[in-house]
Structure 1
Amino acid sequence: MPGVTDNEVRPRGQAWAAAVIGLVAGAAGLGVAELVAGALAPKASPVTVVAGVAVDSSPAPLKEWAIRTFGTNDKTVLVGGILVVLVLIAAGLGVLGRRRPGLARLGFAAFGAVGVAAAVSRPDSALLDVLPSIAGGAVAAWALVPLLRRAWPAAEPEWSSPRPAEPRPEPPAADGGVSAPSPAGGPSRVAGTGTELGAGAVAGADPAAGPALAAGTVPAGGGGAERPAVMRARPGDLDRRGLLTGAVTGVVVAGAAGLAGRALGGRSVAEAARTTVALPPAARPARALPGGADLRIRGLAPFVTPNRDFYRVDTAIVVPQVDPRAWTLKIHGMVGRPIEITYADLLRRPLVEADVTLTCVSNEVGGSYIGNARWLGARLADLLREANIQPGADMLLSTSDDGWTCGTPVDVTLDGRDALLAVAMNGEVLPVSHGFPVRQVIPGLYGYVSATKWVTDIKVTRFDRDEAYWTPRGWAPRGPIKTQSRIDLPRDRATVPAGRTTVAGVAWAQHRGVDAVEVSVDAGPWRPARLADVPGPDTWRQWVLDDWQATPGRHTIQVRATDAAGRTQPQAEAPPAPDGATGWHTITVQVS
C-alpha cells in the first residue's frame, strides 16, 4: 500500500472479528450492570429502566397493538427487542473501534448515559439507581481497547538472539554487482540475479548458499550457521488466538456477573415474606358458591379462575418486590384526618370476602383479559370515612410501588359495593405478581381506574386537578365496565361434527349483573341461553345453549347479553380505547 509501512496498523477486512469484540465488550458491561443492580438497585437494571421508559413513552395505539399481538408476553417481546438493538449497536461500535477506538468508547459511555437518564426519569427512582448504568457503560468502554489489542497486536519483530548478526562483506554478484539490502526490511533483490530475499532474510546473504536465506533465519556471524528468528504477526494482522482468548474471557466475565446479579436480584424479599403471612379469618365471609355457578362444561372457562391462570396486564417490566414489614399505605389530600397504616394494621381490621370479576380495558370483544376470584380484604369505604373526605372530592389517585397511578371515582367506593384493599386471592396470600402485599379490587370498573397493584398511596383529590397514568394517554378518566359476552366453545374456526352441539361461554356486567344471554346462528332468530347461578352482581355468569342441531357446512355464531338494568350489549363494534370495546362476539365453525 503506497505510503503505509509494515509497522503501521492496517485493516485486513476482518470486520466480523471487530464486531465480535464489540459484542463481548457490550456483554461484559451489561453483565457488570446486572451485578451492580442485583446488589444495590434491583429495579435499575439498564435494560429494565430503558424498557420502562419505552412503555411509558409509547403512544396508546402502539400499546394496544402490542397487547393484541403478544398478549401477556408483550413485556418479554419488548425486552427482547431492546437486547437485539443493543447487540447491533455493540457490534457496530466494535467495528468502529477498529479504526476509531476513542469514538467507540464514547459510544459505549453514551449508552451508559442513556441508562442513567432512564433510571432517574422513573417515578420511583432512587439515588443508587444510576450506578448500574454508570458501571455498565464504564466497563464496556474500558474493555473494548484491550480486546482489540489482543486481536490485533501492533508488535515489532523480535529476534531470539539478543545480539544482532555481524555484517559480512557482500560477495560480488554474477553480473559484477552486489546485493542491495531492503531499506524497509522487506524482500531484497540480488543485483544482476533477479533473485529476491525473503522478508525474514537480512542483507549480506551469500548467494552461493542458495537464492536467499529462508525467511525467519539469520546468519550466525562468521560461521555460516543459521539461528531461528521469532516473528510475531505483522501489525494489522488478526491474531485469532488473541481474539479467542479475549472473547472467552469477556464472555465468562459477562456470564458470571450477569448470573450473580440475577441471583442477587432474585432474592425475593416479597416471596419469602409472603410464605410467612398468616391470614386472619374473614369478619364477613363470602357465601358459599351456588351449586349451579359452574356448569363444568369442558372447554368453558371455570367460574373461579385459578391464580396461575389469572390475566396480568400492567406496566411493570419487573414485578415490584415489596416487603410487607416496610409497607405502609397513606391516605391524604382532601381529607380531614390523614391516615397511614401498616400491613399489620390492615390485617387487624375486619376483613371481608367477596367474589369479584376483574376486566382489563384492553380486552377485545371475546378476549381473555378477564378473570374471577374470591378476594379477602379491608373495605376501602371504611378507611375513607375514617379519613373524613372533604366535600367536593371526587377522585382517588392511587399510586403503586413502581410509581404507576390510577384514578378512581370516589362515589363508587362509597355506594355499598365491595371495594377492597385486598390481601388474599382464592384463599391464598395475594401472589406477588398480582399485587402483594396489598392491591385494590373495585367491582364494576375497568382495571386501569380501579385495580392498583402494590398500592402504597391514595390521594383524595378531584378529576379537574389530577390525572392518572392512562388519562393523558387518551383513555377516559372514568371506566365503567360495559356489558359483554363471549363464546368459549366451540372455538372459532373449529371443525365440529354434525348433530346436537353445545354452545357455551361467559357474560359479564359487573355490579349490574347479567339477566339474559342470547345466541344467533347464521343471522337467524335470537335464542335464549340457559344461565348458571351466580353469588351476586359483581361476577361473570356462565351460559349454555345445548340443543343446536348443527348441519354440515360453514356457520356463523353470535352472542349478546342483557344486563339487569335492561341494557343489551350493542352490535356496533368499537376498539378498547378510550373506554372499552363493544360489539357482538362472532365466531365461525365448520360442521362436517
Structure 2
Amino acid sequence: METQGTGRPAPERPPKEWYGELAGVAATALALGVGELVAAATGGPSAPLVAVGGVAVDAAPTPVKEFAVAVFYTYDKLALQAGIVLVLAAFAAFIGLLAIRRLRYGLAGVAVFGAIGVLASATRASATWAYPLPSVVGALAAAGLLVLLRRTLPRRAAVAAQDLGDDTSPGDTDVAAQGERTPVQGARSPSSDVDADVSVVDGAGQPPGRRRFLVLAVGAIGAAAVAVPGGRRLWAQRVAAARAAVVLPSPSSPAPPLPAEASAGVPGVKPFVTSTADFYRIDTALTVPQMEPKDWRLRIHGRVKRPLTLTYEQLLARPMVERYITLACVSNEVGGELVGNARWLGVPIKDLLDEVQPDGGADQVVSRSVDGYTAGTPTAALRDGRDALLAVGMNGEPLPVEHGFPVRMVVPGLYGYVSATKWLTELELSRFSDFSAYWVRRGYAAQAPVKTQSRIDTPAAGKRLAPGPVMVAGVAWAQHRGVSAVEVRVDDGPWQQATLATVPSVDTWRQWSWPWQATSGQHRLQVRATDNTGQVQPGQARKPLPDGATGWHTIKVTVT
C-alpha cells in the first residue's frame, strides 16, 4: 500500500474515466454479438445493428444517399455500417461512464439501447415476434456484463467515485466493494469527513482485481468481434448451401447464340457479358438479405380478379425464358460503371399478370423486397411484349445472394429503381395515384425509361499516348430501343461515325470503336449515341436526380 511520509495511507485517486468507457464499449459489443447469434439461431430476423442501420438508411434524406453513392460508390453500405459503429461506440462509452458513478443510470442507458433495437426490428417489413428477440437478449447480456464489470472495478476507483459525490443506492455500494469491507489501520471511521484517507481490500485481504476487469472487458469485445461476423456467416452458410442445391430448369426459350461480332475486339472495352463478380450492386439493403428457397413465397394481389401465391418450386416448374439484358442504375453518372449486361433466366411477368387478370385501372405493379423496399413499375411495360422476367438465374447459375436470390425482377428499358427489385416477395397491382414507391417518395420520377447513353472505355481519362493510330472504343446503351449510331469527336471538331458491334437484341448495350490518328498535344474526346427512334443523346449535363443523368462522356488525354 502506498503511504505518505507521515505513515498514513496515500489519498485515493479519482477514478479513471477509461474504466467506464471500456465497460460501456464492452457491454455494447457483447449486445451486438449476442444479437447476431440469436438472429442466426432463430432463422435470420433482424439483428440490432442491421435493424437500426435499416432504419437509418430509410430515414436518410435523398441528398445524403446521393452523396454516399457518389463518394463511396458500391461501398456505401460498408461506410454506413462503419459510421453506425462509431456512433454506437460513443454512446456505449457514455453508458459506461454513467454506470461507474450510478449503476442504475448505466442500466437505463442499456435499456434505451435495447428499446431502439426492438422498435427498429419490430417495424421492419415482414416482422414477426422473433424479430425483436435478438435486441432483447443482447440488451440483457449487456446489462449483465455491465453489472459484473462494475463489481470487478479496481477498488480505489470505486470508492473514489463514491467519495466524489456518487450517491449510489445501497445496491450500488455493494457492487462497488464485494465482500465485507475491512478498514485498514489508520483509516477514519465511516462517519468521518469524505476526504478521509481510505483504502479497501476484499474479504480475503487481497488487493483489487484490475486484471479481472480488463480480462472480462477485453474478452467481451473479442467475443463480439467473433460473434458478429460469425452469426452472419452461420445464416449465410445455410442459404449458400440451399442455393448450391438448386437445379435450374432448361429454358423453353433459350437466349440466341452470341454473334462473333458482338465484341469490338478492342482491348480495354468492357466485355459484352459482364461477369457476375463484376456486376454492379446498388440497393438499400444494409446487409444482404438471406432467404432460403423453401421459405420463399411470391404473393400477387391487389387490383386483380384472381390473386395468386407461388412457392419457389412452383415458379421453377413454369416455362422459362433466357435473355441477354442490360441493366442500368439511375444513380449512374455520365461515363459511370453502374451498368452491366448479363444472361438472365426467368418466368415472363406478363404470363403471371395475365393469370391474375388486373383491373383496367391498375396502371402500376408495386414490387416488394423481403427487406421492405418497394418499386413501382408501369403495368403496361410488363405486358407490352418485352422480356420482363422474374429471374431465378444469372449467367447460367442460380442468382447470387447479392443479386437477389432466390428471385428478382429484370425489366429491360427501365432504370432499376422502378423495375429491378431484388429478394422479391410480393407484386401488388395498384395505381400510381394511390401509392408512391421508395425512391419516388424521395424525389425521383415515378416512371423512368433508360436514357440513351454512351461511354469511352479506352483510352482511359488522363492517359499519355504516343502519336499515331489509337483505337477509341466503348459501349452505348438504350435498352428496349436499341442503339443505331455512335459518334466521336476530338477537340470540338466534327462528329465522326464509329463502327458498331453486332447485338442479339435491342435490350443489350452495344460496343463501338473508332480509329483516331492522334497528334501531339492535349486533346478532349467526346462521344454520343443515337437510338433506333432517331433520338440523339443530349449534350446538356444533368445529374441523376430525378430520372437519370444526361450529357456527353468527355475525357482528356495527352499525346506526347
Bucket of the pairwise TM-score, normalised by the shorter protein: 0.7 to 0.9
> Which of 59, 66, 69 does residue 67 from structure 1 map onto?
69
Q: How high is the TM-score relative to the length of structure 2? A: 0.88
Question: Partner of 1:498 in structure 2?
Answer: 467
Output the CA distance in 1 between the equivalents of 2:33 and 2:340: 38
1:331/1:185 Cα in 2 relative to 1: closer, same or farther (>3 Å)? closer
Output the CA distance in 2 between the equivalents of 1:34 and 1:376: 34
> Which of 344, 349, 353 does residue 384 from structure 1 map onto?
353
> Which of 219, 228, 247 does residue 278 from structure 1 map onto?
247
Question: Partner of 2:80 in structure 1?
Answer: 78
1:565 matched to 2:533:
yes
1:183/1:451 Cα in 2 relative to 1: closer, same or farther (>3 Å)? closer
1:468/1:87 Cα in 2 relative to 1: closer, same or farther (>3 Å)? same
Question: Partner of 2:557 in structure 1?
Answer: 589
Question: Partner of 1:470 in structure 2?
Answer: 439
1:407/1:157 Cα in 2 relative to 1: closer, same or farther (>3 Å)? same
Question: Partner of 2:221 in structure 1?
Answer: 251
Output the CA distance in 1 between the equivalents of 2:109 and 2:315: 50
Output the CA distance in 2 between the equivalents of 1:386 and 1:567: 36
Deviation (angstroms), 1:375: 1.2
Output the CA distance in 2 between the equivalents of 1:278 and 1:418: 22
Q: CA contact under 8 A between 2:252 and 2:319: conserved in structure 1?
A: yes
Deviation (angstroms), 1:263: 4.4
Q: How high is the TM-score relative to the length of structure 1? A: 0.83
> Which of 279, 303, 306 does residue 272 from structure 2 map onto?
303
Output the CA distance in 2 between the equivalents of 1:141 and 1:487: 57
1:435 matched to 2:437:
no
Alignment map for 1:323-334 (pairs within 5 Å): 323-334=292-303
Question: Partner of 1:423 in structure 2?
Answer: 392
1:554 matched to 2:522:
yes
Alignment map for 1:132-531 (pairs within 5 Å): 132-153=134-155, 154=159, 156-157=181-182, 184=188, 240-255=210-225, 257-258=227-228, 261-269=231-239, 271-531=240-500
1:474/1:432 Cα in 2 relative to 1: closer, same or farther (>3 Å)? same
SS in structure 2 opposite 1:466?
A: coil
SS in structure 1 opposite 2:543?
A: coil
Output the CA distance in 2 between the equivalents of 1:360 and 1:387: 30
Deviation (angstroms), 1:437: 1.8
1:420/1:7 Cα in 2 relative to 1: closer, same or farther (>3 Å)? farther
Counterpart amino acid of 1:409? P
**Percent identity for Structure 1 against Structure 2:** 50
Structure 2: gaps spanning 5 or more residues = 1-7, 160-176, 191-196
- Indicate the larger mover: 258-267 or 317-326: 258-267
Counterpart amino acid of 1:395? Q
Q: CA contact under 8 A between 1:151 and 1:241: conserved in structure 2?
A: no
Deviation (angstroms), 1:319: 1.8
> Which of 18, 27, 30 does residue 28 from structure 1 map onto?
30
Deviations 1:362-403 (A, max 9, x none): 111111110001111111111111222221221111111222
Deviation (angstroms), 1:242: 3.5
Counterpart amino acid of 1:264? L
Counterpart amino acid of 1:366? G
Output the CA distance in 2 between the equivalents of 1:76 and 1:110: 25
1:89/1:476 Cα in 2 relative to 1: closer, same or farther (>3 Å)? same
Q: CA contact under 8 A between 2:266 and 2:513: conserved in structure 1?
A: no
1:575 matched to 2:543:
yes
Output the CA distance in 1 between the equivalents of 2:331 and 2:435: 23
1:342/1:34 Cα in 2 relative to 1: closer, same or farther (>3 Å)? closer
Q: CA contact under 8 A between 1:398 and 1:406: conserved in structure 2?
A: yes
Deviation (angstroms), 1:259: 5.8
Output the CA distance in 1 between the equivalents of 2:249 and 2:220: 52
Deviation (angstroms), 1:409: 0.4
1:158/1:100 Cα in 2 relative to 1: closer, same or farther (>3 Å)? closer
> Which of 116, 119, 122 does residue 120 from structure 1 map onto?
122
Question: Partner of 2:46 in structure 1?
Answer: 44
Output the CA distance in 2 between the equivalents of 1:561 and 1:272: 44
Output the CA distance in 1 between the equivalents of 2:411 and 2:187: 88
Output the CA distance in 2 between the equivalents of 1:30 and 1:64: 29
Counterpart amino acid of 1:75? K
SS in structure 2 opposite 1:128?
A: coil
Output the CA distance in 1 between the equivalents of 2:348 and 2:77: 33
SS in structure 1 opposite 2:68?
A: helix
Question: Partner of 1:211 in structure 2?
Answer: none
More helix by share: 2
1:240/1:519 Cα in 2 relative to 1: closer, same or farther (>3 Å)? same
SS in structure 2 opposite 1:129?
A: coil
Output the CA distance in 2 between the equivalents of 1:291 and 1:51: 47
- Structure whose alpha-carbon radius of gyration is higher: 1
Output the CA distance in 2 between the equivalents of 1:379 and 1:361: 24
